[in-house]
Amino acid sequence: MALGRLHLLLLEDRPDDAELIIAQLKRDGFDITSELVNTAEAYERALETSPDVILADYHLPQFGAVPALKILKKRGTDVPFIIVSGSIGADAAAAAMRAGAHDYVLKDNLSRLAPAIERERRAWEERTAARTAKEDHLERLSTIFDSAIDAVVAMDQEGRIIDWNPQAEATFGWSRAEAVGRLLEETVIPGRYREAHRRGLAGFLATGKGPLLGRRVEIEALHRSGHEFPVELSIAVARSGGRYVFSSFLRDITERRRAEAALRASEERYRRIVETAFEGIWVIDAENRTTFVNPRMASMLGYTVDEVIGRSVLDFMDADAQAMFATNVSRRQAEPQAHHETRFRRKDGSELWTELEASPSRAEDGTYTGSLAMVTDVTQRRRAELALRESEERFRGLFYGVAAGQVLVAPDGRWLAVNPAFCQMVGYEESELLVNGWQDITHPADQDLAVAPLTDLIAGKIGYFHLEKRCVHKNGKALWVLLSVSSVVGEDGTVKYLVNQVQDITARKQAEHELKEQTSMYGALIKAQSDLDQIIILTDGTRPIYINEAFSRITGFSSDELMQKESLFDLVASGEYKGSAPNLLERLQGQKAKAFATTITTKNGRIIELEGTDMQFEAGGRDLVFTLARDMTERNEARRALEYQAQHDALTGLPNRTLIHAQLGAALDDGRTRNHAVALLMLDVDHFKEVNDTFGHDAGDVLLRQIGPRLGEVLPKGAVVARLGGDEFGIVLPETDEAGASAAAGRLLVALERPFEVHGQLLDIASSIGIAVYPRHGDTADSLLRCGDIALFVAKRSRGESVVYAPEYDRRGLSRLTLMAELRQGIAGGQLVLHYQPIISLRDRRITGVEALVRWNHPLRGMVPPMEFIPFAEKTRLIQPLTQWALGAALRQCRSWHAAGHTIPVAINISMRDLVDPGFPDLVATTLRETQAEPSWLRLEITEGIIMSEPERAIETLGRLRKLGVRLAVDDFGTGYSSLAYLHRLPVHEIKIDKSFVSRVAGATGGASIVRASVELGHSLRLETVAEGVEDARTLDLLAALGCDSAQGFYISRPMPAAGLLSWLAEWERTQDRAA
């Protein structure tokens, strides 16, 4: 593949080596031109030819790579510089990289040279683009400065002018050449302000604060001719080269001041005219705020002028007048309004009726800016008109204006009048009702209800009567009414007409019916809650007045026994009740509801744990407390077991790495507080692999279980022993210095030399110990664990010894750098492959997806296990290109399976670096787009430990990934208990239960409880659950019985290359079909 033209500058004293390099690059696809030099003089001349890349041998007889780098640095030249040498030590390579070399390649590995050149050329192009962008930015700033319409003056912290734009030249009369270098105060500041200027500058330099910073002020400035003129001034300050630079922006406001003075004179003339007018004048702005009233207008309202200015015109109107004003807004703003009446409210609350004429005001662009009104007081005239109208309508209002239905009925049954409320109630028009009577709209079943009382009323035996009956609405539906009937008797003693008041009570009747139904429903609900063991208690003060069957069943007391107790607090477990107010209302402390957790003692002495809520409510004029609770004993026991399991090693029962990390941190905090040392011992059992290989893994487990107690025999009180994994143990020794730690290590080595009995045989083992001590070797738990690991690595070279950490032991890290360099080549060179482990549904045993696991097929080392390169890659930036490669490879494989008719989602583990990288969601989106894969095909797995290292950033990144449509899972669930507090906030779809719990489902006591608790927790949060590490059929069946959704493990299938998955899938489906 052609890689383009390349002009090389070769710093080499051996022409044959130079030819080899050029030949290699040509084979790699470059079109090469080159220049060979071996002296400083020739090198400097060759730099003038602008080479694309410099390749330099490290050692030359008269010259070398490091002097060449110094020349580049002195010239300020940026050219990719790569050392190509036959041999170069690690220290020399590191020194060359610090001197400016971009990479180094050994001559016996020239295949690395072309990728290195391409990488550095891309980096050089990016740096060049950045410099160009910066220069363009400075050019734009200069253009803005020169074309600004304001005068811009820059001053240094000595008060001298350092820059002066063209507008400053026009404003102040000084050219830039004349102004730059002069004191600012002598150039533009009038004499009376100069002392204040000097004090302000000195004050800012002393305190960092100034009275004019961040403000716009108007002040007098000095022209070169000597005359003063007004300017608007703002000042900004910045630091440059460790010194302050002040930028002043000034605008000449002479013309604006003149215009303002003319406007004030005009306004004064206008004010004298309007203040003497007989009519009121009222001016409002576009927001209806009063901007002007004359004294006459203020007097009409009963206010002073100052009391009216600034207030909304609506403040002087009642609600009706405000509504009328609002309905007229568009017309009022569009055109002048002729004489019309408007009602206002005076200061004393009385009405002010006015007749006004208004016209709108507009800006130059036609925008409405307010209105001006001429106002005449017509209150007296209006009152006379209203009194007459009220007299005429009083009776009509009594009949037609009430909300209740009204019907006037003649003694013979004819309807004389009906009001609108009644018409609306029964759905008829007035004209329809007046030709009918009560019998025409009464429900057939209620026709005779009013006959008897109506006869008595007409006969004068009673003065009124009330009756509930059903009427028929015009739409055919029945409605219930309350009918109140009274008579109006004339002077002759006969009934002139009957007044019928009608109230619609349909809703009340419906509510009564629903209440009866709800009473039955609540009874059924309380019984159902009791059947589900939900506790319900009703308390009045200290006395229970209702206890459901569930509480009796759980406590073993009968309902009568419980009701006879003075207080249910008598059941609270001994020692927990410490005088808390037995009155639950007092315990609520004014809150409507309050959650609680407590323990109580049952009749047979068993302690159970309750969680619930007390809620206050009122019934029958009494304040009662409703308690809803449930028995949490079994769930809490499972949770505590899960907590213990997350912090302890399952095999030995010792603290695990998570717990010892926390305890080491606590010991360090105590050491800092009390100023004493803390020691950490890292112990590894030598030749433990031979024990497993010779006697079996079960024998190895028996041996590991004996080591903790053996170590505890010789350790001081307060020491902490933990199993970190495999055959590695950690010991924390508080208040122990280096000498004490070495002595303790000696005792441990001797103790482990005594034989161990395993399956009837005596085994001799040895151990190696690494020692790290606070504060000499580190002041954090992580730093001490790292130093302890390094010391243990050194100790294992000799075996059977203890070694105290020393800084020079860190040099072994160079081998890791070599491994990482090879891994970088492996990613680019196609040495990585993915194997896939199937995940199946436990409901129908069908495949739901696969987990992608990376493998490194090293050309010399063979298949490198993931644990030898993944942890190192996670500590460097290599994990990101590794993740990027895995994403692309997995999604391309998904696309291939989909094309073959199989939709198989793939799960990929992501690292801490991926999770905190803000660009990671964008990388995922880009990869999905480039591979044409659906987001639902991709599942990303994150371990609990990674999430809890930075939970808030993790939640943010996971939220962005979820929005892409990608499924998310918490891996190794249960090994990081602290994340349970965050689990409900995590935007994930599933949790993967760690294999350490799954492996004990069929055997260990409590194993099934822990998995059940994890499944229930996941389902309560609407998350699917996946079990990892399924090794046998019994475990698979038990997981299905516990409600787990999916599973994976060696029993189902080992990880396999992509080529074998479809054939495995076909055989698996045939097997499941036969089993069905």
**Structure-token pair, residue 319:** 């609600």
> What mean pLDDT is reported for the chain?
84
| Best CA proximity match to 68, nearest among 36, 93, 101 | 101
How far CA 973 is from CA of 625, 645, 751, 942, in Å, comes to: 40, 11, 37, 10
pLDDT score, position 582? 60
Which residues share a beta bridge with 118? none
Question: Per-residue pLDDT for 267 more than 90?
Answer: no
| Best CA proximity match to 968, nearest among 981, 979, 955, 951 | 955
For residues 237-247, give the mean pLDDT. 85
**3-state helix, strand and coil shares in percent for the chain, rounded to the nearest 5:** 45, 30, 25
pLDDT score, position 978? 43
Taking the C-alpha atoms of residue 288 and residue 369, their distance in angstroms, rounded to an integer, is 10
**Phi and psi at residue 542, to the nearest 5°:** -100, -10
- The answer to whether 1026 and 1008 have CB atoms below 8 angstroms apart is no
- The answer to whether 47 and 91 have CB atoms below 8 angstroms apart is no
For residues 270-297, give the mean pLDDT. 84
Q: How confident is the model at residue 665 (pLDDT cuts 50, 70, 90)?
A: very high
| Best CA proximity match to 454, nearest among 392, 411, 390 | 411
Question: Per-residue pLDDT for 979 more than 50?
Answer: no
Question: Per-residue pLDDT for 137 more than 50?
Answer: yes
How far CA 926 is from CA of 502, 882, 903, 923, in Å, comes to: 73, 16, 21, 5
Give the tens place of pLDDT for each residue, 313-323.
899 998 888 88
pLDDT score, position 876? 64
- Do the strands 1024-1027 and 543-547 form a parallel or antiparallel pair, or are they unpaired? unpaired
For residues 855-875, give the mean pLDDT. 79
Q: Which residue has the higher pLDDT, 528 or 831?
A: 831
How far CA 610 is from CA of 545, 551, 629, 983, in Å, comes to: 20, 11, 7, 23
Question: Per-residue pLDDT for 38 more than 70?
Answer: yes
- Say which range, 73-82, 363-372, 381-390, has the weakest mean pLDDT: 381-390
Taking the C-alpha atoms of residue 420 and residue 59, their distance in angstroms, rounded to an integer, is 111
Q: How confident is the model at residue 615 (pLDDT cuts 50, 70, 90)?
A: confident
**Structure-token pair, residue 345:** 């409210």
Q: How many CA atoms lie within 13 Å of 113's alpha carbon, on the beta-carbon side?
A: 28
Percent share of the chain, pLDDT over 70: 89
Give the tens place of pLDDT for each residue, 381-409.
887 777 666 655 665 666 777 778 888 88
Q: b or e along 401-427 (b: 16 or more beta carbons within 10 Å of the residue's beta carbon)?
A: eeeebbbbbeeeeebeebbebbbebbe
Q: What is the DSSP letter of 1059?
A: G
Taking the C-alpha atoms of residue 485 and residue 472, their distance in angstroms, rounded to an integer, is 19
Q: Which residue has the higher pLDDT, 574 or 231?
A: 231
Which residues share a beta bridge with 244? 239
**Structure-token pair, residue 148:** 């600004």
Q: Which residues contact 868 (CB under 8 A, 6 or more apart)?
A: 819
Taking the C-alpha atoms of residue 150 and residue 360, their distance in angstroms, rounded to an integer, is 37
Give whichever of 632-646, 658-672, 1006-1020 has the largest mean pLDDT.
Answer: 658-672
pLDDT score, position 523? 53
- Say which range, 345-354, 432-441, 507-516, 836-845, has the weakest mean pLDDT: 507-516
Q: Which residue has the higher pLDDT, 453 or 545?
A: 453
For residues 37-59, give the mean pLDDT. 89
pLDDT score, position 493? 79
Give the tens place of pLDDT for each residue, 896-927.
999 999 999 999 999 877 887 888 999 999 99
Determine the residue type at 159. Answer: G
CA angle 478, 480, 483 (to 5 degrees): 130
Residues composing the chain: 1076
- The answer to whether 233 and 188 have CB atoms below 8 angstroms apart is no
How far CA 965 is from CA of 740, 852, 961, 968, in Å, comes to: 57, 19, 7, 9
Give whichever of 176-185, 562-571, 968-977 has the largest mean pLDDT.
Answer: 176-185
pLDDT score, position 849? 96
Helix (H) or strand (E) holding 758: strand 756-758
Q: Which residue has the higher pLDDT, 499 or 140?
A: 499
Cis amide bond preceding 865, omega within 30: no
How many other CB atoms sit within 10 Å of the CB of residue 977? Answer: 18
Q: Which residues contact 801 (CB under 8 A, 6 or more apart)?
A: 749, 768, 769, 795
Taking the C-alpha atoms of residue 285 and residue 333, their distance in angstroms, rounded to an integer, is 11
Q: Which residues contact 558 (CB under 8 A, 6 or more apart)?
A: 552
CA torsion sign for 954, 959, 965, 968 is: positive
pLDDT score, position 977? 45
Q: How confident is the model at residue 1056 (pLDDT cuts 50, 70, 90)?
A: very high
Determine the residue type at 613. Answer: T
pLDDT score, position 247? 86
Q: What is the DSSP string of 172-221?
A: HS--HHHHTTSBHHHHTS-HHHHHHHHHHHHHHHHHS--TTBT-EEEEEE
Q: Which residues contact 1040 (CB under 8 A, 6 or more apart)?
A: 842, 843
**Structure-token pair, residue 802:** 């203890």
Q: What is the DSSP letter of 573?
A: P
| Best CA proximity match to 868, nearest among 856, 876, 852, 881 | 856
- Say which range, 571-575, 781-785, 915-919, has the weakest mean pLDDT: 571-575
Percent share of the chain, pLDDT over 90: 29
pLDDT score, position 91? 80
- The answer to whether 957 and 912 have CB atoms below 8 angstroms apart is no
Question: Per-residue pLDDT for 530 more than 60?
Answer: no
**Structure-token pair, residue 1043:** 């409600």
| Best CA proximity match to 71, nearest among 121, 37, 103 | 37
| Best CA proximity match to 614, nearest among 586, 577, 588, 581 | 588
- The answer to whether 720 and 731 have CB atoms below 8 angstroms apart is yes
Long-range (24+ apart) CB contacts under 8 A made by 85-94 are: 85/57, 85/58, 85/59, 86/17, 86/57, 88/58, 90/814, 92/58
For residues 1007-1026, give the mean pLDDT. 86
Taking the C-alpha atoms of residue 759 and residue 702, their distance in angstroms, rounded to an integer, is 8
Taking the C-alpha atoms of residue 988 and residue 1023, their distance in angstroms, rounded to an integer, is 8
Q: How confident is the model at residue 596 (pLDDT cuts 50, 70, 90)?
A: confident
Helix (H) or strand (E) holding 1057: strand 1056-1057
Give the tens place of pLDDT for each residue, 800-822.
889 999 888 765 544 454 566 78
Q: Which residues contact 453 (CB under 8 A, 6 or more apart)?
A: 462, 465, 467, 485
Taking the C-alpha atoms of residue 188 and residue 173, their distance in angstroms, rounded to an integer, is 10
Whose tokens are 């007092």? That residue is 586
Cis amide bond preceding 775, omega within 30: yes
Give the tens place of pLDDT for each residue, 181-207.
999 989 999 999 999 889 988 888 888
How far CA 365 is from CA of 283, 333, 336, 408, 976, in Å, comes to: 20, 14, 18, 62, 67
How many other CB atoms sit within 10 Å of the CB of residue 199? Answer: 11
How many other CB atoms sit within 10 Å of the CB of residue 368? Answer: 16
**Structure-token pair, residue 58:** 């490290």
- The answer to whether 893 and 931 have CB atoms below 8 angstroms apart is no
CA torsion sign for 694, 697, 702, 703 is: positive
pLDDT score, position 811? 57
Which residues share a beta bridge with 470? 480
pLDDT score, position 391? 52
What domains appear along the chain, each with residue ranges and CATH number?
4-134 (3.40.50.2300), 148-252 (3.30.450.20), 257-386 (3.30.450.20), 401-505 (3.30.450.20), 532-631 (3.30.450.20), 651-805 (3.30.70.270), 835-853+878-1075 (3.20.20.450)
CA angle 873, 878, 879 (to 5 degrees): 65
Taking the C-alpha atoms of residue 152 and residue 169, their distance in angstroms, rounded to an integer, is 10
Taking the C-alpha atoms of residue 780 and residue 306, their distance in angstroms, rounded to an integer, is 70
Determine the residue type at 1023. Answer: L
- The answer to whether 683 and 728 have CB atoms below 8 angstroms apart is yes
